[in-house]
Structures are given as structure tokens and as C-alpha cells.
């Protein structure tokens, strides 16, 4: 039976659509690209985005700009990208806080971080450092756990509710089976100031933020959260080697596009970003700040998220943290 005109048009339509996507990828980007950061300038997410944007601008020949859209624990900027045109010209740099913790805290949002985004590339990982006030009579993770068990609920840590310092502290509480008091702050900075002043016992802070204070003696470093010791501070042990072998956790920052962004464009962005991030000067600049380039494929990033998002959602559930 001869094919009907409509059945013959379907393959032709698919071919034309494929050709259109391929052509778009070949010319992409033909104008300015916006990288949305859902937090204020200065934090780890912002640093990662700006280093990447600068290098992409140099390598690709089109302008990549960072657009900070802070507010509502990252929800405002994240929703903006989720509802943007899927053409590769509006991208998001998100962390585990934005993509895993916030959805678990708030329950229902106007977007879904799995359904409404395409993972493009995991940009960097950065370890967390556990640091205590120098007056606290502990010099190791084992001693901290022993003291916390001897003084249940008396040792305190702080940070923004639901933020990285909070969640990493909650993970520590679960794995070490200790009772620590969480003190909520408007941000990581005020908590660090109070830790230096002795108002709280310790902080679980991104390495680039707190390492200089530890090196100057204002805080005492105990351990880092990565699987290996960090090159910038080889004398600080890992938490895993200090008595909690299951505690391996880094902050991570990744680049995302709105769902339905053509595969060819996602691949093009990934290729350009991989080249930019693997430039020696970029890797050295980030490593000096305690940030380590990952630069994996979209498939590898997606596989990572399948385990990482449920992991932090469970920490949120176990801790009982609520939006503030």
C-alpha cells in the first residue's frame, strides 16, 4: 500500500527540525549569553560563574555575562531560568543548595530542578572545612565527637538555614551520632564572625572562605570534607580519615540550561566550557581558592545528580529544617 502524503511528511519534518538544530548549534552563540546566579555577588556560586563567563567570552568571541538574581534562597533566579526560552542564551549556575536542598525544604515550587533543567556541565567542587574557636579543647574530629557526646546540645554551629554550612553540619550530626545546636544566621559571614568571637563553637564552611582565618589562627582547622587532602592545606586531614569514613561531601556548582534546549547546543556549551575550565590558568586560579575543576559531560553530570539530589534531600528530611 503506497505511503500517504502525511506519513511521508513526518520523516521530512524530523529531518528539517534536525537540520535547524544543527544549524543553530553551528552559529551558537550569535549574541550575548546570560548566566544567572541566584545569589548575591561574592559567594562560591558567583565566583565559579564569573571565572567561567570570562573565559567563555575570550574563547567563543561572544559576551557571556553574569546576572545576579538573589532572593528567596535562590528560588527567584532559578525560576527565571526554568521559564526562559530553551535556546542556550539564558543559563543557570546552581549548587546543591539550589538544586537539592531548597526543593526539599519548600516542598512545592513553580519549577522542578530535575524536570525543568538540562545538566550541561559540573563546573567545580569545593571542600568544606570544619573549624572551631581556638578555646574549644579539641584538636581533631575524634576529640570533637567525644566532647559533643559529653556535652549533648551544648556545642553550636551556625549559618543560613538550609545553606551549605547548615546541611554539612546536619550530615556530621547524623554520621557522628552527636547532638549539636544549630544557630541560624542570615548568611555564612555572620556565623564565621561569631565563631571567631566564641559566640558559637564551630563552623562548617566552604574552604576558600574560612581557610585564611584558620591559617591566621583566628579559628582552629580540624578536617576537610573531601575524599583527599587539599593541595593548598596538606596538613589538614580529611574527615573520612579522622574517624568518619562515610563523610565525604563537597559543595558543587554546575551549569544548567532550560529543558528542551536542543541537544546540539547543550553539547556545544559543554565543549566550550570544558575547554575554558581546563585552561591551566583557570584551574590554577580556582585551585588557589580551594575550588577544583570537574568539567564532566552532560551525561556524567546527570548521573551524579541522580545520587546527589536524593542524598541532600534526605539530610533535609532527617534534620527537619524548614524555610525561615
> Is 118 part of a structural domain of the chain?
yes
Nearest-angstrom CA–CA distance, 111 and 270: 23
> Is 65 part of a structural domain of the chain?
yes
> Is 4 part of a structural domain of the chain?
no
- Shared domain for 196 and 263, answered yes or no, is no
Residue 319, pLDDT > 60, answer: yes
- Contacts of residues 237-243 at CB distance under 8 Å and 24 or more positions apart, as own/partner, are 237/140, 237/141, 239/130, 239/141, 239/172, 242/140, 242/141, 242/142, 243/140, 243/141, 243/142, 243/145
User: CA of 322: how far to CAs of 105, 110, 175, 240, 316, in Å?
Assistant: 6, 18, 21, 29, 9
pLDDT tens digits, residue range 113-141? 999 999 999 999 999 999 999 999 999 99
> Is 8 part of a structural domain of the chain?
no
pLDDT tens digits, residue range 206-264? 888 898 999 999 999 999 999 999 888 899 999 999 989 999 999 999 999 999 999 99
**In whole numbers, what is the pLDDT of the chain averaged over residues?**
91
pLDDT tens digits, residue range 249-271? 999 999 999 999 999 999 999 99
3-state secondary structure of 117: strand
* pLDDT confidence bin for 321, thresholds 50/70/90: confident
Residue 10, pLDDT > 60, answer: no
Residue 33, pLDDT > 90, answer: yes
- Shared domain for 40 and 89, answered yes or no, is yes
- Shared domain for 104 and 145, answered yes or no, is no
- 68 strand-pairing partners: 37
Domain of 208 in residue numbering reads as: 127-242
Backbone angles phi, psi at 83, to 5 degrees: -100, 10
- 256 strand-pairing partners: 92, 119
Residue 41 is given by DSSP the state T
In the block, residue with C-alpha cell 556549551:
269
Q: Is residue 204 within 8 Å of 106, Cβ to Cβ?
A: no
Amino acid at each position: 500500500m503506497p505511503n500517504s502524503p502525511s506519513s511521508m511528511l513526518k520523516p521530512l519534518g524530523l529531518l528539517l527540525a534536525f537540520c535547524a538544530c544543527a544549524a543553530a548549534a553551528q552559529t551558537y552563540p550569535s549574541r550575548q549569553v546570560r548566566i544567572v546566579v541566584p545569589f548575591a555577588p561574592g559567594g562560591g556560586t558567583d565566583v565559579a560563574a564569573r571565572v567561567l563567563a570570562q573565559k567563555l567570552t575570550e574563547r567563543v568571541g561572544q559576551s557571556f555575562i553574569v546576572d545576579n538574581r538573589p532572593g528567596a534562597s535562590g528560588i527567584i533566579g532559578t525560576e527565571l531560568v526554568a521559564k526562559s526560552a530553551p535556546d542556550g542564551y539564558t543559563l543557570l549556575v546552581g549548587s546543591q543548595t539550589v538544586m537539592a536542598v531548597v526543593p526539599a525544604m519548600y516542598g512545592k515550587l513553580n519549577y522542578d530542578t530535575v524536570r525543568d533543567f538540562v545538566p550541561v556541565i559540573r563546573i567545580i567542587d569545593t571542600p568544606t572545612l570544619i573549624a572551631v574557636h581556638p578555646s574549644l579543647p579539641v584538636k581533631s574530629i575524634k576529640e570533637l565527637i567525644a566532647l559533643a557526646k559529653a556535652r549533648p546540645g551544648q556545642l553550636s554551629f551556625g549559618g543560613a538555614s538550609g545553606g551549605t554550612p547548615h546541611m554539612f553540619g546536619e550530615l556530621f550530626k547524623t554520621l557522628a551520632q552527636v547532638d549539636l545546636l544549630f544557630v541560624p544566621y542570615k548568611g555564612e559571614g555572620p556565623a564565621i564572625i561569631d565563631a571567631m568571637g566564641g559566640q558559637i563553637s564551630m563552623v562548617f564552611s566552604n574552604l576558600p572562605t574560612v581557610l585564611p582565618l584558620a591559617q591566621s589562627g583566628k579559628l582552629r582547622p580540624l578536617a576537610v570534607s573531601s575524599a583527599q587532602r587539599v593541595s593548598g592545606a596538606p596538613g589538614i586531614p580529611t574527615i573520612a580519615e579522622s574517624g568518619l569514613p562515610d563523610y565525604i561531601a563537597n559543595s558543587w556548582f554546575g551549569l544548567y540550561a532550560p529543558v528542551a534546549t536542543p541537544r546540539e547546543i547543550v553539547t556545544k556549551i559543554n565543549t566550550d566550557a570544558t575547554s575554558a575550565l581546563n585552561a591551566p590558568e583557570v584551574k590554577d586560579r580556582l585551585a588557589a581558592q580551594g575550588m577544583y575543576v570537574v568539567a564532566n559531560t552532560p551525561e556524567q553530570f546527570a548521573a551524579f545528580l541522580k545520587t546527589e539530589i536524593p542524598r541532600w534531600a534526605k539530610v533535609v528530611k532527617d534534620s527537619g529544617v524548614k524555610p525561615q
